[in-house]
Every structure is written in structure tokens, then in C-alpha cells.
Amino acid sequence: MDKKKLSASWAIAFTVASVWFGTHVGGGFASGNQVIGYFAQFGSMGSLLFPLIAMGLLSIVMSIYLKFARLNGFDNYKDTFAALYPHPKMEVLFEIFYIVIILAAVAAAVAGAGEVLANFLGVPYVGAMKVVFNLLIVALLVLLSIFGVKLVAAASTVLSVAIMIITGVIVVVGLAKLGVVNDLATKFGVDLAEYTPQTGFSIFRATLVYCAFQCVSIPPMIAASNELNVKGTNRACFLGWLMNGIALSLSAFMLSKWYPLLAALKAKAGEMAAAGTLEGSDLVGFANATGIPNQTVLTLIGIKILLVIFSVLLFCAFVSTCVTLIFTMVQRFAPKLAKFNSEGEFIAGLQNETLRRVIVAVVAIALCFSISLLGLTTITTKVYGYDGYYALLVVVLPAFIWGIPKNRKLEKK
């Protein structure tokens, strides 16, 4: 097979699309938290359609950047954005988005792991217990960051595949068991909650913001697609749209069917907590029923073996995300604490490499722990959300304003 034909093959395009899928379908997606926050709460019809729209828009934006990178021969996001923006120094605009979303992702993973553990043990993840469980996760991160980076890296691929499979199983089981929703509402003495009203452009805004903060997938896609030509990158983006859009749509549809019960249980538990009657009741484990909704659904359905497997895998996935991203930040920022000349001789800063790495790791973990106390839901809806609004301005719009015209000029050449 010649180079030109190989670079546009569907097989390689699928491999590249899988990088996007793996970045998207991690612990945050598998928990169901951001799926409810951006889609499922608005009802079942919107949950089927708008995830496809969000991933479709992202695939268009991504194809513009990948095409620009291929036409220029770039294999990294820094060169790509520096050349696409009107001035190279404007690349820092993307760096801000990227750093914020990575810090938020680590914080969300800390909060998510803490909440998964608390739910599994039947302890309400609120108040002081939130701090305790998050500190336990941070302690584990410190140990793994020092002694277990290679172990986490080796296990990350297996974890990703396992999470994708178990999430698919949960979607199937959740849809198959919809008949018990009304019975469970009666059992717990709650009235099913209403969906969040689609006032104004709420679901459209959620769709745009979700697409925007998922632009975090662009850098790994640029790096992964360096063996594809323009036709191949278009195929990768098309396959990525199908894979991510269908997975997100099915997950959102399933959770939309369970959302009225989950929201009702959370509200009732909140009322009982305020009245001081929650402790010892059947609702004690549902104080944050929408926090890790997939775990809550499995708890309600009562398939214990599936609940155990999912809880263990999701916990490991969150921890793996934390360690991997912290290691990435250490690799990125530790060298900036020292200056060397062109011959590699030390000039200024901190000469000890280990000390530099420890400082960056401690600062990163401290920042992420502080953010994690906001809770998983607040991080995914607020921090991701505001960074998403920012990404609309500095990533999504520039693709259409500068990316398309520059691609046309390059094609003419």
C-alpha cells in the first residue's frame, strides 16, 4: 500500500478517532455526571438529538484544525495555534484554556473518586466527609505520583477499555430496567421530579459549551493524526463524530429516563437532612443521587456484582486520570524553574531536577484539591462551563474566522 493511500485509510482513521473517543469517554463521562448536567436533565428527546449536534460541531472544528496542521506539516498544537492565530503570541490564549481544563479535570477526578468511594461505603459525601474523602484521594495521588507512575501508565489503556465496556453495559441495563422507576418512587415515597425547563436557549447553550470544553481533545488528535493526509483526517473526524455522538446520545437518553427519580430522591434526602431525620433512613445514600448517577442507577437496580465492578473501575479511572495529568503538568512546567544555556549548562533557578518536579507536583495537587472541594457537579457545570464559554471565543470561533480562509489559501498553493 503506497504512502498516499495508507494515509487516507479508514483503518488508520479509526485508530485516530479512537484517541478522541478515549479522551472523551473517561471517568467524567462514565460517571454520568456531566451527561446529566448538560443533556439528560432536559428530557429524553433533547438527550438523543443534542449530543449528536455537540459532537458534530466539535468534529467540524476539529477537522479545520487537523486540516490546517496537515497542510502545514505540524504535529503539535503549539505550532498549529501559533500559525493559525493572526499573531504567534496569541497561542497563549489556547494555553490558558488548556491549563484551566486540565486543572479542572484533575480536581473533578479527585472529587469523583472521593464521591465514588463515599457512595460505595454508604457515607454521605457532604460537609466534613467531603474533605476527608478528598484528602484520602490526594494522599493516594502523592504515593502513586512518587512510586506508581509506570504502573498507572501501564494500566491506563486497560482501564479505558474496561470503562467503555462497563458504561455500555450500564446503558443497556438501565434501559432494560426502566419499568422499575415508578415502583422505586413508590417504595421511597417520592413523586417523580420534572425535567429542567428548556427556558430560552438553555439546551442550545449547554450543547455549545459542552462542544467547546471538549476541544481539549484537539491537541492529542493533532499529534495522533500525523500519518494521515487531509482526506484521512476528515475520515477520522467523521468516525469520531459517530463514535462519540452515539455513545453520548445513548448514555444521555438512558439517564434522562432515570433523572426524574434521581432528582426526586436527592430533593427528598435534602429535605430530611434539613429536618435532621436523614440519618438511619433508606434515603441516607441518596443525598447526592445525581452526583455519580450511573452508580446510583446500579444501586437502585440492585445488581451488586455490576455495582462493585463499576465502582472499582470508575475509582481506578479517576485516580489514573489524576496521576497522568499531574505527571503531564510536571513534565511541562518543571523545566521552567531552571534556565540552561545552549550547551545545556545551568544558569539560574533550581538546579535540582527532583526538587523542581516535587514543587510543581505539590502546587498542582494543592490547587486541584482546593478546587475539588467544590464537588464534582459544580466543577463539571461551572468550571468546565466557564472555560467552555472562553473556548468558544478562543478555539471554536477562530476555527471559522481564520482557520477556513487559511486552509483555502494553503490548498490553492
Domain-located, residue 407:
no
In terms of residue numbers, what domain contains 70?
A: 3-389
Other Cβ atoms within 10 Å of 139 Cβ, number: 11
Residue 409 lies in a domain: no
pLDDT of residue 6: 44
Q: What is the rounded average pLDDT for all residues in the chain?
A: 89
Residues paired with residue 346 on neighbouring β-strands, in sequence order: 340
pLDDT greater than 60 at residue 413: yes
Checking if the pLDDT of 2 tops 50, the result is no
Query: Considering the chain, what percentage of its residues have pLDDT values greater than 90?
Result: 58
Mean pLDDT to the nearest integer, 307-323: 87
Domain annotation covers residue 208: yes
Give which of 271, 341, 273, 263 is closest to 296, Cα–Cα.
Answer: 263
Statement: residue 100 has pLDDT above 70: yes
The number of CA neighbours under 13 Å toward the Cβ of 318 is 28
| pLDDT of amino acid 285 | 83
- What is the mean pLDDT of the segment spanning 298-309? 93
Residue 1: its pLDDT value, please?
Answer: 41
Work out the average pLDDT over 87-95: 94
pLDDT digit string, tens, across residues 111-120: 999 999 988 8
Q: Regarding predicted confidence, which is higher, 338 or 297?
A: 297
Beta strands in 125-218 (DSSP E): none
Task: Assess whether pLDDT exceeds 90 at residue 97.
Answer: yes
Closest among 334, 330, 292 to 311, alpha carbons compared: 292
- Residue 408 CB burial class (10 angstroms; 0-12, 13-18, ≥19): exposed
Count Cβ atoms within 10 A of the Cβ of residue 192 and give its class: 0-12 exposed, 13-18 middle, 19 or more buried: middle
Strand residues in 288-400 grouped as ranges (E): 338-340, 346-349
Rounded to an integer, what is the distance from CA 346 to the centroid of its chain? 39
Assigned domain for 66 exists: yes
Q: Residues 331-336: what's their mean pLDDT?
A: 82
Look at residue 58 and tell me whether its pLDDT is greater than 60. yes
Establish if 399 belongs to a structural domain: no
| Amino acid 71: pLDDT | 92
**How many domains is the chain built from?**
1
pLDDT digits (tens, 9 = 90+) for 228-258: 889 999 999 999 999 999 999 999 999 999 9
Q: What is the pTM of this model?
A: 0.90
pLDDT of 4 strictly over 80: no
Predicted pLDDT of residue 305: 93
C-alpha cell at 89: 503570541
Mean pLDDT value of segment 44-50 = 91
- Considering only CA atoms, give the Rg of the chain: 22
Top pLDDT among 10 and 56 is at 56
Per-residue model confidence as pLDDT tens digits over 131-185: 999 999 988 887 777 666 677 766 777 777 888 899 999 999 999 999 999 999 9
Structure-model confidence comparison of residues 279 and 257, the more confident one: 257
Q: What is the pLDDT of residues 346-405, one digit of tens each?
A: 787 787 888 888 888 888 889 999 999 999 999 999 999 999 999 999 999 999 999 999
Q: Give the domain CATH number at 290.
A: 1.20.1730.10
Sign of CA dihedral 136, 104, 17, 243: positive
pLDDT, residue 153, reads 66
229 domain residue, yes or no: yes
pLDDT band, very low/low/confident/very high, at 320 (cuts 50, 70, 90): confident
Q: Is residue 314 part of a domain?
A: yes
Contact assessment for residue 28 and residue 34, using Cβ atoms and an 8 Å cutoff: yes
pLDDT digits (tens, 9 = 90+) for 186-200: 999 999 999 988 766
